[in-house]
Amino acid sequence: MKRIKYVSRFATPFSESELEKLGEQASAKNKDREITGVLITSGGIFYQVIEGPEQSVDEIFSIIQNDTRHTDLLVLSIEEHVDRRLFPDWSMRAVNLDAPAHVRLLPIKILMEAVFEQQQHIDKMVWAIERGLRQEFSSTS
Query: Which domains are assigned to the chain?
Result: 2-139 (3.30.70.100)
Total residue count of the chain as it appears in this document: 141
Burial of 88 (0-12, 13-18, 19+ CB in 10 A): exposed
What's the confidence (pLDDT) of residue 133?
Answer: 78
Q: How far is CA 33 from the centre of its chain?
A: 19
Whether the CB-CB separation of 25 and 92 falls below 8 Å is answered with no
pLDDT tens digits, residue range 37-92?
998 888 888 889 999 999 999 999 999 999 898 888 989 889 999 999 999 988 88
